Amino acid sequence: MTNMLKKLAPFWYGLFGVVQASLAFAQEEASHGGEDTITFLGDWLPRLVNFVIIAAVVVYFTRKPIRDLFKNRSAEIAKAMQESKETRERAVAALTEMERKIKDLESETAKLIADAQARGEKDKQALIEEGKKAAQDIQAQAKQGIDLEVMKAKAVLATEAARLSLDLAEGKIKDKIGRTDQDRIVKEYISKVGGKA
């Protein structure tokens, strides 16, 4: 656009000069006190000829630059429309790609949820099995503890029964053995021990 204005600058300067010259001639004619009567040949014909000449010069010199200006403008508009079309196509392609990614993301999310649920169920079953095993181990340990305590209680009871039996036997012996029997047993024991000594 700036290039076009540079090409048209001499034309505009020339046109400005022609207009200034026409104005100068008109002012000079008016200052000389020309005729008061207006005739077509004397007054209007020169103006008409000047206009035709100026219009022809303007058309001749501006025809190609103006045509180029409109061609360039048309080309710029066509280029802008093409760029807009390409940009729209890229935007549509990007939108399609985003929609595909969203669908992929949704399916991937559903897959991750299903995997997490499967892992959760598997972990749940593992925990249940581990709990059952722990319960069995606790029951086994409790049974062993009970068996051990029963054996200790039996041993204590057996010891206590033996002690009570001894006490009972000693009490019965003491009741049945009198003083004379005790002296005789002591003498027999001393004679046996003494005889061996």
Whole-number Å distance between alpha carbons of 160 and 166: 10
* Cα–Cα distance measured from residue 170 to residue 183, given in angstroms and rounded to the nearest whole number: 17
Chain segment 1-47, per-residue pLDDT in tens: 566 666 667 777 777 777 777 766 766 666 655 555 556 566 777 78
Q: Quick: pLDDT tens for 89-101.
A: 999 999 999 988 8
54 neighbors 18 (Cβ within 8 angstroms): yes
Q: State residue 114's pLDDT score.
A: 87
Q: What is the pLDDT of residue 103?
A: 87
Cβ(44)–Cβ(38) below 8 Å: yes
Q: Does 68 have pLDDT greater than 80?
A: yes
pLDDT for 121-143, tens place per residue?
888 888 888 888 888 888 888 88
Cβ proximity of 25 and 18 under 8 Å? no
pLDDT tens digits, one per residue of 160-196 = 777 877 777 777 777 777 777 778 888 887 888 875 5
Q: What is the pLDDT of residues 141-161, one digit of tens each?
A: 888 888 888 888 888 878 877
Rounded-to-integer distance, Cα 100 and Cα 193, Å: 114
Those residues with Cβ within 8 angstroms of residue 72's Cβ, 6 or more apart along the chain or in another chain: 1, 4
Instruction: List the structure tokens of 88.
Output: 């729209």
